[in-house]
Structure 1
Amino acid sequence: MNPADLHHPRAPRTSGSSGTSGTSGSEILRTTVRRNAGAMVRGTVLMGLYQAGETAFPIALGLIVEHTLARRSLASLTLALVALAAIITTVSLSWRFGMRIIQRANTTEAHRWRVRVAARALQPVAPETGLRSGEVLVIATEDADQTADVVEVVPVLIGSLVAVAITAVALGTAHLGLGALVVVGSAAILAVLSVLSGRIGSSTKEQQARVAQAGAKVADLINGLRPLNGFGGNHAAFLSYRRLSTRARDQAVAVARINGTYAGTALALNAVLAVTVALTAGWLALRGRIGIGELVMAVGLAQFVMEPLTLCSNMPKYLVTARASAERMALVLAAPPTDGPVPPAGAERLSGPEHPHPGGGVELEGLRYGALQGLGLRFPAGEFTAVLTHRPQEAADLVSVLALHVPPDGYDGVVRLGGRPLAELPVDSVRARLLVNPHHGEVFAGTLRSNIDPSGTSGTVPEAVRAAMLTDVVALHSRGLDHEVRDRGSNLSGGQRQRLSLARALAADSEVLVLHDPTTAVDAVTEGAIARRLAEHRRGRTTIVITSSPALLDAADRVYVLSDGAVRAEGTHQELLADDEGYALAVAR
């Protein structure tokens, strides 16, 4: 919220740059208020003092005219000037420190929700929410900011109500009719504007959704830019984004039109009330029912009350917007987990009856999911095992199950890690021992080192670089591992990005490592070297490679061949080449 928006008859912003979780918009707002209750109370007191000071200024002027000037006393005038200086000082200091408190709380709370949404989205967000990564990005920025605005809006609203109440009381002391006019007029204005604020809330919610969809489309286009260039789909993709962007623009125009109507109506009604108060005071002064000092006070208050009335009338709109943003955040925060059971209390322990036995292997028994039909596999502890699938969907489904992208109740059968079913294990415990590196491993902006060891805690980075055959990339650049990597690895070749992803998986030094087609983008010579070094680097630890690479299959201790969702053959690479013609044809290059 911009302080200038409060000092003048304007309202706070409605958009931003956009330990407790909420499961609904109301719960998120309650959490926000509860977590910042102290700052909001202090801010409310100071903003109330600020508004009271500003209200006191025209009241003091009226008293000066009514009493001090009438007496023509230098002492009285000096005292009046001191009182005005005290009022001005109070207004300045209460504004400065009040806004500092609530804006700091606002900014901090927005950061908390951004982190919370981002952390939840990284699990990732359940597909049934219908939200894509681009939409989640908008929610984690703009919606988080607008939700946190409630921390600032409430103190400002209460402070404005204090000003209106003081105005009504002050005018009521001069003439009861003036005080009643302010009270009734303010209530009428808020009643009229509450109807418009409802329309703003529903329209804003729709606008936020459409902007998020356009953002998601941009993210999708960036991800698929190279394939789009390859098959000439740029124009069609552009038209698709343009349609979404146009709908978002049209909705934004509609929201702006409603906001303009709201602001214009609020300004007109507030002006009518202020003019009515001033004219009524003038009429009462002409009739001799109020004095000149009271007239000065009434006219001054009529001009001043425009600001708090405008703030009061605009606050419902911003509260509705905050509620809409909170409900969108709830879509992400309340989404069911997609990566396995929720860790119970004590999940940080890595031993005990609810955790896998250290050094254990992986077993699949009667697994039915997608293309997998009653699959039974055993990956012994410490062995390098390869899996060849005749259909890509079989490999994708197997990876999804092992990566915990499918919760245990999402498939039939049992998957065991270290002798314990995944359904009985905390996610943290599984992830501490089993790492699945997908075929399309992401590469991030940063350096080679930060991509290989994001946490900065791995002690095997040099070994991982060597095993992944990334040494030539490191040696190619003067800064070595500190060579800059651009967004999504745009300054690296496809093979370099794949080897970088493999090096990251190896540097994690996981007890069980699952690799899905880790060498499809590298040449045959490099692939052979990777296969040999991978087997050497992972000796004594469980390694599962889902691949059709002859080099990796030959390096494996055991090879499983899947067909129609079940195991069709088993043996070493050489045994299968000699005994299984179908296998030989599948791996021939």
Structure 2
Amino acid sequence: MHGSEILRTALRRNLGAMTWGTALMGLYQAGETAFPIALGLIVEHTMRDRTPASLALSIAALAVIITTVSFSWRFGMRVLQKANTTEAHHWRVRVAGCGLQPVARDVDLKSGEVLTIATEDADQTADIIEVVPLLISSLVAVLIAATALGMADVRLGLLVIIGTAAILSILSVMSRRIGASTQEQQARVARAGAKVADLITGLRPLRGFGGNHAAFRSYRTVSTEATHQAITVAKVNGAYAGTALALNAILAAAVTLTAGHLAFQGQITIGELVMAVGLAQFIMEPLKLFSEMPKYVMIARASAERMALVLTAPPAMIPGQERPSPSGDLEVDCVRYGSLRKLKFQVSAGEFMAIAAYQPRAAADLAAILSATIPPDAYDGAIRISGQRTADLSIESIREHMLVNPYDGEIFAGTLRSNIDPSGTSRMIAEAVEASLLTDVVALHREGLDHTVRDRGANLSGGQRQRLSLARALAADTGILVLHDPTTAVDAVTEQLIARNIADLRRGRTTIVLTTSPPLLNAADRVLVLDDGVITADDTHRNLLTTDQTYRQAVAR
């Protein structure tokens, strides 16, 4: 999908609203054009027939024109703005939906950049819904003015048509530069937004080792680049607007002077002169609108091209369509990826197994593969759920049967309840809260589970955020649950209780914990030692403490 295709889709989807909007805005422009024409006719007839009836008829005609102009503008813009807002919402939702899906790693799209595309670019793309009707209605006004002037004198009508064509030719060349400059500006603003999102996410660790000042300097550089490009765009827009205004004024002056010359020579009447002067003044507004449309079209196209970057981004993996049987066993068969070297092990259905990874990178690589965020063609070997390869399963079925809870699980703005049970369907909220020892947080606040949680859990401590994330994983109650370092931010006593609670709550369901926590290792049915990318030991925690000195040194605290 390209930007032009996005624009065509938007126009096609709103054809009905645009038709009505174009008709009403055309009626508005026709009424605006008719006003100076009516004034000219009133002057012409009043000079010949000076009666109260003629004056009353003239006033009535002006009242009809003013009423038509008022209502056609009111309802025309209402129709177009509703369609514009609805279309922008459609693209925001679609871009956000694509942004939430994992994409191939060679696609350089950061979350902050996607956010900018889903807001500003979606709005500017939807502006095409208003641009086209306004463009057509402005053309209607110019044509009516040219026709009316041509009826007074052909030279006046030709002057308007030729002058309008010349203005548009000049401005269309300038609008191309606006489109290119705007696209670059939007890209730099999006990069600045992405940098902000990264800084907010990593602000705590940055402060921890004193890297926040360097990070802020990095953002300042990106922001300065965006500012300079914005200034460039403003200069181009200013030059465009100034040129358009000057050309429109020149055309209006030319029409006025030509009409005055013709009236002086007696080739047009006084009424026609009044009409020509009025149209020369009026025509500047539709000409201004008409001349600005190419700029807005180029901006909409530039925004649509940026949206296409997200909408056409290839997925991280193309899932199959099968569903696993509900037995709940898991097999990792000769997987080679990152720091993993032909990793092979099997977890039986209902087993509680811990994996003690001596290298944190190995645990992270294993969690990434099990979470299905790494495409199957990016690693050797296979992952099987209930005997079926994950490559043959749909993403939805994998998520239903196996949940991988990362050590840095995100906390969202909302409430404790909405973070624990985002879908609102869990029947194990109370059990999950108790097992994760989140009960003290719930009891601390009068609202209980409805206590407000700020963005990224800013009003919670590190341990509270980790226990909240654990509660969410336990409340999901999936057949296979993988926990990655779920207790690193809690004290030893709390960790001991949580380990026991997880074992009790998950009894009979497959559970895998990637950890070096002694309480969790002790609670597991068996422990696999992952060292240098392979399994080097398989036993209980107590036996390994007795027989394996390296293990004892790695996990003892």
TM-score, normalised with respect to structure 1: 0.92
Counterpart for residue 554 of structure 1: 522
Letter in 2 for 1:391: Q
CA-CA distance at 1:126 after TM superposition: 3.8
- For residue 489 of structure 1, the aligned residue among 450, 457, 462 is 457
Counterpart for residue 378 of structure 2: 410
Q: Distance in 2 between matches of 1:213 and 1:225?
A: 18
Q: Distance in 2 between matches of 1:127 and 1:282?
A: 69
Counterpart for residue 16 of structure 1: none
Query: SS at 1:457's partner residue?
Result: coil
CA-CA distance at 1:125 after TM superposition: 4.3
CA-CA distance at 1:380 after TM superposition: 1.4
- For residue 425 of structure 1, the aligned residue among 384, 393, 398 is 393
CA-CA distance at 1:124 after TM superposition: 3.3
1:125·1:332 contact (CA, 8 Å) conserved in 2? no
Q: Distance in 2 between matches of 1:142 and 1:198?
A: 20
Give the alignment of 1:453-464 within 5 angstroms. 453-464=421-432
Q: Distance in 2 between matches of 1:474 and 1:359?
A: 35
CA-CA distance at 1:54 after TM superposition: 0.5
Counterpart for residue 511 of structure 2: 543
1:387 has 2:387 as partner: no
Q: Distance in 2 between matches of 1:526 and 1:134?
A: 36
1:387·1:562 contact (CA, 8 Å) conserved in 2? yes
Deviation string for 1:10-66 (max 9, x for gaps)? Answer: xxxxxxxxxxxxx22112111111111111111111111110110111111111112
Q: Distance in 2 between matches of 1:317 and 1:568?
A: 66
Q: Distance in 2 between matches of 1:522 and 1:551?
A: 12
Counterpart for residue 326 of structure 2: 358
Query: SS at 2:409's partner residue?
Result: coil
Counterpart for residue 78 of structure 1: 56
Counterpart for residue 580 of structure 1: 548
Give the alignment of 1:83-482 within 5 angstroms. 83-338=61-316, 340-342=317-319, 354-482=322-450
Q: Distance in 2 between matches of 1:69 and 1:287?
A: 19
Deviation string for 1:489-520 (max 9, x for gaps)? Answer: 12211111100100011111112111111011
2:259·2:277 contact (CA, 8 Å) conserved in 1? yes
Query: SS at 1:128's partner residue?
Result: coil
Runs of 4+ more than 6 Å apart:
none
Task: Please say which of residues 277-286 and 238-247 is displaced more in the overlay.
Answer: 238-247
Deviation string for 1:115-169 (max 9, x for gaps)? Answer: 1111111113443221211111111111111111111111111110110111111
Q: Distance in 1 between matches of 2:387 and 2:163?
A: 74
Letter in 2 for 1:376: K
Letter in 1 for 2:214: A
Q: Distance in 1 between matches of 2:133 and 2:345?
A: 62
Counterpart for residue 503 of structure 1: 471
Q: Distance in 2 between matches of 1:303 and 1:473?
A: 70
Q: Percent identity?
A: 68
1:45 has 2:23 as partner: yes
Q: Distance in 2 between matches of 1:365 and 1:156?
A: 63
Letter in 2 for 1:28: I
Deviation string for 1:532-563 (max 9, x for gaps)? Answer: 10011111111111111111111111221112
CA-CA distance at 1:578 after TM superposition: 2.5
Counterpart for residue 570 of structure 1: 538
Deviation string for 1:49-100 (max 9, x for gaps)? Answer: 1101101111111111122431223333322222211111111111000000
Counterpart for residue 5 of structure 2: 27
Deviation string for 1:434-459 (max 9, x for gaps)? Answer: 11111101112222111111222211
2:320·2:391 contact (CA, 8 Å) conserved in 1? no
Q: Distance in 2 between matches of 1:129 and 1:173?
A: 60
CA-CA distance at 1:414 after TM superposition: 1.3
2:319·2:393 contact (CA, 8 Å) conserved in 1? no
Letter in 2 for 1:336: P
Query: SS at 1:385's partner residue?
Result: strand
1:360·1:419 contact (CA, 8 Å) conserved in 2? no
Query: SS at 2:106's partner residue?
Result: helix
Q: What runs of 5+ residues in structure 1 fail to find an aligned partner?
A: 1-22, 345-353
1:129·1:332 contact (CA, 8 Å) conserved in 2? no
Letter in 1 for 2:448: G
1:441·1:498 contact (CA, 8 Å) conserved in 2? yes
Q: Distance in 1 between matches of 2:394 and 2:425?
A: 23
1:200·1:259 contact (CA, 8 Å) conserved in 2? yes
CA-CA distance at 1:219 after TM superposition: 1.5
- For residue 67 of structure 1, the aligned residue among 22, 27, 45 is 45
2:319·2:392 contact (CA, 8 Å) conserved in 1? no
CA-CA distance at 1:342 after TM superposition: 4.5
Q: Distance in 2 between matches of 1:583 and 1:342?
A: 38
Letter in 1 for 2:111: S
Q: Distance in 1 between matches of 2:105 and 2:73?
A: 46
Q: Distance in 2 between matches of 1:538 and 1:360?
A: 13
1:361·1:381 contact (CA, 8 Å) conserved in 2? yes
Q: Distance in 2 between matches of 1:28 and 1:417?
A: 40
Query: SS at 2:422's partner residue?
Result: coil
1:193·1:266 contact (CA, 8 Å) conserved in 2? yes
Q: Distance in 1 between matches of 2:103 and 2:96?
A: 10
Query: SS at 1:570's partner residue?
Result: strand
Deviation string for 1:148-197 (max 9, x for gaps)? Answer: 11111111111101101111111111111111111110011011011111
Letter in 2 for 1:463: E
Letter in 2 for 1:231: F
Deviation string for 1:406-454 (max 9, x for gaps)? Answer: 1112211111112211111111111121111111011122221111112
Query: SS at 1:32's partner residue?
Result: helix
2:356·2:528 contact (CA, 8 Å) conserved in 1? yes
